[in-house]
Amino acid sequence: MKPPKHILSKSTFMYGCHCPKRLWLHKYKPALRDEMDEVQQAVFQQGTDVGKLAEQLFPGGVDARPKDTYSYQQSVADTAKYIAQGHEVIYEAAFQYKGLLCAVDILVKQKDQWYAYEVKSTTSVKPQHIPDAAFQYYVITRAGLDLADFSIIHLNNQYIRKGDLNVQELFCAESVLDDILLEQDFTHSQGESLKEMLQHKTEMPAIEMGDHCNKPYACDFQGFCSEGYEAEEEEPEEEYIDKEFVQEFLSAIEYPIYHMDFESWSTAVPEYDGHWPYRQVCFQYSVHVERTPNAEPEHYAYLAEGAHCSGLAFLESLLTVLGDTGSILVYNKNFEATRLKELMREYPQYENVIQNVLDRMIDLMQPFRKHVRLPAMQGSYSIKQVLPAIVPELSYNDLTIGNGGDASTAFYNLKHTLDEQDVEQTRQALLEYCKMDTWAMVKLLGVLRGIKS
């Protein structure tokens, strides 16, 4: 017999912990949700794929997944049936208790004891995983199944693929039982509070926007909340320019000047030899070169033929452009420096040359963090915010691809694109986007040069 429809699932319970207003909107005004972009869709799909792959750790199980999102009560009934029939591995085992519903990724019986495993596509246990797991433990045990342990299965970032994927080495399992036992009282009281709140279908919780809107995850109702949110007017940030710092920064730059930017893609599950979970694989660079003062900048670019291309082709092409003298400017040095160090470990024959590049790198973001601040930057030092504030004739808004996340997704998805014209248009858009990044750096450096002490 199927139980009555639930009031809170694990995900909606977490919505309520995040922000009761988000939960209320999800339940009663779902049409107001922000449209999901391709990057977000890819993240969700990645989580689903990782969860399915982890089932190979415990093969031969029975699947209790519902046929759709409206059939979880059937999953609860099926789970009970499978347990009664003596199945020892159940995927997506579902349980319900007093209007609370959860489905645990993998449920395993060993030596007459039950063990629950929840799969996460992260490379470690995160703080937000604890209340999530605590809710599942609460529902499962209150529903009548004793659990000997509860573990989070996550990706092992020390695993480097060589040949066929080794699922046993790809994943790590970490018990969180001690932590979630401490959360049981909170889970109970929070569940009761959220169920009571949801009884008021016409009373949206009055919660103002704040840091919680993006932590630990971005809320998908921010568009609605921001339209109706009237923040107290803040005093605009005053213009501040530390001319002495700017001059010191400029004095360290030597010709020829190379303005450099990389783009990369990554996947949770490594697809090629030498890759590890979430390895950032460089597929594109743009370099603008100022050979001498007042010389017209020269542009160089590389875009891999496909995700299968090795880092060696990227690296060798880049090194032919950078020479062995002159400053190399990047915006947010840590990203490019980390990628180069990874390539150095992978291709030790280029260690000395790459080290030369690292030694010559200068972070153009540095002046804009604290020393050059304009009201139009709105407190941000992101190049997407700094560029229109300082060089208003330039903007990313007119580009087909306007940020790194979209660039990564667009390139990775090319392998699924069969239309040659679509492929060519996407590749052209990628080249234009990356070129804008380094041209923006040329223009920003020009502005800094115009600041006189």
SS3 content of the chain, % helix, strand, coil (to 5): 45, 15, 35
Q: At 182, which amino acid appears?
A: L
203 plus 294 within the same structural domain? no
Beta bridge partners of 108: 89, 115
The number of distinct structural domains making up the chain is: 2
Task: Clarify whether residues 203 and 246 are in a common domain.
Answer: no
CA-closest candidate to residue 79, choices 57, 101, 100, 50:
101
2 pLDDT above the threshold of 80: no
Q: Do residue 298 and residue 186 come from a single domain? A: no
Over residues 364-421, the pLDDT tens digits come to 999 999 999 999 888 889 998 899 999 998 888 889 999 999 999 999 999 888 899 9
Asked if the structure places residue 273 within a domain, the reply is yes
pLDDT at 117 over 70: yes
Determine, yes or no, domain membership for 181: yes
pLDDT band at 43 (very low <50, low <70, confident <90, very high): confident
Nearest CA-CA partner of 162 in 55, 255, 272:
272
Average pLDDT over residues 10-33: 94
CA distance 197 to 204: 9
Contacts of 396 (CB under 8 A, 6+ apart): 384, 387, 402, 403, 433, 436
Residues 257 and 151 in one domain: no
Cα separation of the two ends of the chain: 80
Same domain, 222 and 298: no
In a domain, 234, yes or no: no
Instruction: Choose one of 200, 227, 254: the last residue of a domain.
Output: 227
Which domain does 100 fall in, by range?
A: 8-227
Tell me the pLDDT band of 235, cut-offs 50, 70 and 90: low
In a domain? residue 121: yes
Residues 239-265: pLDDT tens digits?
899 999 999 999 999 999 999 999 999
In a domain? residue 208: yes
Same-domain status, 221 and 252: no
Q: Judge if 114 and 208 occupy the same domain.
A: yes
Tokens (6 digits) for 353: 């040359």
Same domain, 248 and 391: yes
Instruction: Give me the percent of the chain exceeding a pLDDT of 90.
Output: 81
- Spatial CB neighbours of 155, under 8 Å, sequence gap ≥ 6: 50, 121, 122, 123, 170, 171, 172, 268, 269, 277, 278
* Residues 168, 219 within the same domain: yes
Would you say residue 235 lies in a domain?
no
Average per-residue pLDDT in the chain? 93
At residue 233 the predicted structure's pLDDT band, cuts being 50, 70 and 90, is: very low
Query: Which CATH number characterizes residue 205's domain?
Result: 3.90.320.10
> How is the beta sheet containing 257-265 ordered, strand by strand?
298-303, 281-290, 257-265, 328-330, 361-363
Same domain assignment for residues 382 and 417: yes
232 located within any domain: no
Q: Where are the alpha helices (DSSP H) in 66-221?
A: 72-84, 129-142, 167-170, 177-181, 184-197
Angstrom distance (rounded) from CA 84 to CA 107: 14
Domain boundary, last residue among 196, 227, 258 = 227
Q: The domain spanning residue 320 has which CATH number?
A: 3.30.420.10
Residue 233 falls within a domain, yes or no?
A: no
- Mark whether 217 and 248 lie in a shared domain: no
Q: Are residues 158 and 223 in the same domain?
A: yes
How far apart are the C-alpha atoms of 389 and 78, rounded to whole Å? 59
Q: Which of 201, 227, 253 is the last residue of a domain?
A: 227
Query: ∠ CA(318), CA(322), CA(327), 5° rounding?
Result: 135
- The residues, any chain, with a CB within 8 Å of residue 324's CB and separated by 6 or more, are 353, 356
